[in-house]
Every structure is written in C-alpha cells, then in structure tokens.
Amino acid sequence: MSTVHPVPLARRSLAVLLEGQSRSGAFVASPAFPVYGYAWLRDGAFCAHALDVAGETGAARAFHGWVARTVQAHRALFEDAIARVDAGGPAAGGAERVPPRMPPARYTLEGTLERGEGAAAASGDDGGASPDEPWPNFQIDGYGMWLWALAEHLHGAPLPDALRPAVSLVARYLERAWPLRCFDCWEEWGGGEHASTLGAAAAGLDAAAGLLGDGRWQRAADGARARLLERFAAGERLRRGAEDDRVDGSMLWLGVPFGALAPRDPRMRATVETIRTDLAGPGGGLYRYRGDTYYGGGQWLLLTSSLAWHDAQTGAREAAIEAQAWVRAQATPDGKLPEQVTHQPQDAAMVAPWQDRWGPVATPLLWSHAMYLIAEAAVR
C-alpha cells in the first residue's frame, strides 16, 4: 500500500467522514461494503468525536440529533426491555441465550430497524451474520459510547432540552442492561461478558450523571466499574472476558477515552503493555485478539490508532507517531483506510472464505478514519 502524507490523509479522512454522513445525521459504517451499509452507534460515536476534534461541530451535532430522534422513535422498545429486566423476564437471558427484542446496535440511516430485526440472531464467534440473516444486534456498548461522545461534544455546556428525554431513556436502559450477557463490540458472543462493554457502559453512565445532574447514574457507573475490577482481573492486569484470560484491543478504551481505570493506573498500564506485546502484528499493527479468524484475523487500523491515542495521552509520543505511521502506510492511493489488512493474518486459510462470502475488506471504513483523526490530534 502507498504511504500518504499525514496532512493530506487527515484532510482525506475528514472528507470521508463528511461524505459518509447521511442527511439524517447518521454515519454509514462503510459506503462500499453492503453488509456495513448501516449506522452503528459504536462507530458513529467515534466519528462524531473525530469531527468535534477536527472543528466540524455542526456535523457532530447532527449525529447526536439523529441518535436522539431514533431513540425516541423506538421508545416503546426501550421501555419494554426495561420492564422485562425489572420483572426478571426473558430479557435477563441465560448463559447462552440472547434476550429477545432488545434495542439494536445498528439502525438504518433513516433510524428504522433493519429488515428481520427481532428474530433470533446467531451467537457464534464468526464475525457477524450474513447479509440475509439478522445481525447479532444485542450489544449495549454503543449506547454508552453515544452518551460519552455527547458529553464530550457539549464540553460542559447544558444539555439541550430536545436531547434530554433520549439521554434519560438511554441512561435508564444502560442501568438495567449492563449486567446482562450480550454480544461484544465485535458482534461476537464470547461468553456474553466483556471488559470493553462494561467500560463503555460505565463511561455512558458517568456522562449521564453530568448531563442530567443526577447521582443515580454515577452510582450505576460505579457498579459497572466494580464488576469490571471484580470479574475481569487476571493477576496485575485485566482480561477480555470473565472467563477468558486473553486481552482484546478494545480494552485500550478502558483507559483512553472511557476512564474506567486511569490510564496510568498500574492495572491499566499492565493491560496496555500486554496488548502491545500479545497483539502486535509483524507489520506493526494490532490484532483484535488472538484466535481471530474474521478475514483471517488481520491487523486493525482503528485499534492501532487507539494505541497511538493512548500513548499520546500518557506521554509516549514516539510510540504514538510510529503507530500512526503504520496506519498511514495502509491507505489506498486515493487515501482510503480499510478496516484491517490481511497480508499478515493470524489464519491465512480464513481470508479467502470471507472474501468469497462478502468481497474485499471494507474500504473505506469510517471508524478507521475517525480513530486516525483523533490520534493525529492527540499526537500534535
């Protein structure tokens, strides 16, 4: 792949985000990868934050307005899920059962439920459903990420009245849902308990406490953090699952930006260093986790920029610059960043099956461009 100069790639990344934003305010995950032709709250939260960092606050505001309208449009779905959790009904699920009819991780760009949503989703670790199957859509992290991004967007300003009902509803949902087993941020089951999910939920509830001025949400955030430290300890560091001692690249966000642990907390430092050593690919990027087979389990650009973001925030500027240089080297000649690169995968035999199923790796992936922009700003 050709190396793109950092300033043009930053400019190109900003253009990719703006071009990928629908008139509704939603961000398409990837405009050239049909399976990703939806709006995830997870991806969108980081895209909106990247636009805030780049000074495009109006575009970020449009995304937050879209989320609030979408949540309000599906209020009955949220209220039903909350009521079922309160009643100890099917929403509580079991060790290997996906709760029915929970608020989804992704919506159409218009804010509607995708076709087939509500049907039972597969719970295998295969990187998601096929285009004709319902997506593994019960993952709560995106709702926490949205509240975090909204608080960052407002930066201490009062919460607009138009957003208050949606923020309150999402906070209530997170308070009830964070203890439930769900899919992780990669749409994989993995036992249903995930360190990064708890970190995102805690960050969202922290944000809700500030936005709504209600200590109830702070207490809920503290509960999620306590569960993280209690269930996910692996010696001096944390682990990706309650019964999975591996690390996961998404655990970088526990420190930066979610603050479930302070970035310089010894447990967070040990976790990051294990990620740095265990998940480092031979090319210089980061794998998601060991044993990943999605498109062969290649090196992910957004995680490499996440490590650069962490390093920049903790004073390891040279390491951050090196990570960002690797990301730039993966850009296409026209400045598009893919989701991952597969020329040095963990399981080479699994590259072709995914290409046959869905085509080449998603390029551009808006989330890759967003994390690149955020890390570039942090390095400067």
Q: Is the pLDDT of residue 34 over 60?
A: yes
The three-state secondary structure class of 376 is: helix
Predicted confidence (pLDDT) at residue 299 exceeds the cutoff of 80 = yes
Number of Cβ atoms within 10 Å of the Cβ of 206: 24
- How much is the average pLDDT of 145-167? 98
Q: Does residue 319 lie in a domain region?
A: yes
Residues 6+ apart with CB under 8 A from 211: 147, 150, 151, 154, 159, 167
Task: Specify the pLDDT at position 139.
Answer: 93
Give residues with Cβ within 8 angstroms of 171, minimum separation 6. 147, 204, 205, 208, 212, 217, 220
Q: Give the pLDDT score at 131.
A: 36
Q: Indicate whether 57 belongs to any domain.
A: yes
Mean pLDDT, rounded, of the chain? 92
114 in catalytic set: no
Q: Which residue(s) pair with 48 in the sheet?
A: none
Binned at pLDDT 50, 70 and 90, residue 283 comes out as confident
- The CATH number of the domain where 239 resides is what? 1.50.10.10
Q: C-alpha distances in angstroms, 252 versus 155, 249, 286, 301?
A: 23, 6, 11, 14
Per-residue pLDDT of 319-368, as tens digits, reads 999 999 999 999 999 999 999 999 999 999 999 999 999 999 999 999 99
By percentage, how much of the chain surpasses pLDDT 70? Answer: 90
- The pTM of this model reads 0.94
Mean pLDDT value of segment 249-265: 98
Residue 1 inside a domain? The answer is: no
Catalytic residue among 187, 188, 193, 206: 187
Helices 75-86 and 57-73, packing angle to 10 deg? 60
Q: Tell me which of 52, 141, 193, 339 is the catalytic residue.
A: 339
Active site residue 187: yes
pLDDT digits (tens, 9 = 90+) for 91-141: 554 545 667 789 999 999 999 998 765 433 333 344 444 333 456 689 999
DSSP 196-230: HHHHHHHHHHHHHHHHHT-HHHHHHHHHHHHHHHH
What's the count of helices (H) and strands (E) in the chain, helices before strands? 13, 7
In a domain, 198, yes or no: yes
Report how many domains make up the chain: 1
Reply yes or no on whether 184 is catalytic: yes
Domain assignment present for 167: yes
Domain containing 320: what range?
6-379
Select which of 125, 175, 184, 376 is catalytic: 184
Query: Is residue 77, in this structure, part of any structural domain at all?
Result: yes
Asked if pLDDT for residue 57 goes beyond 60, the answer is yes
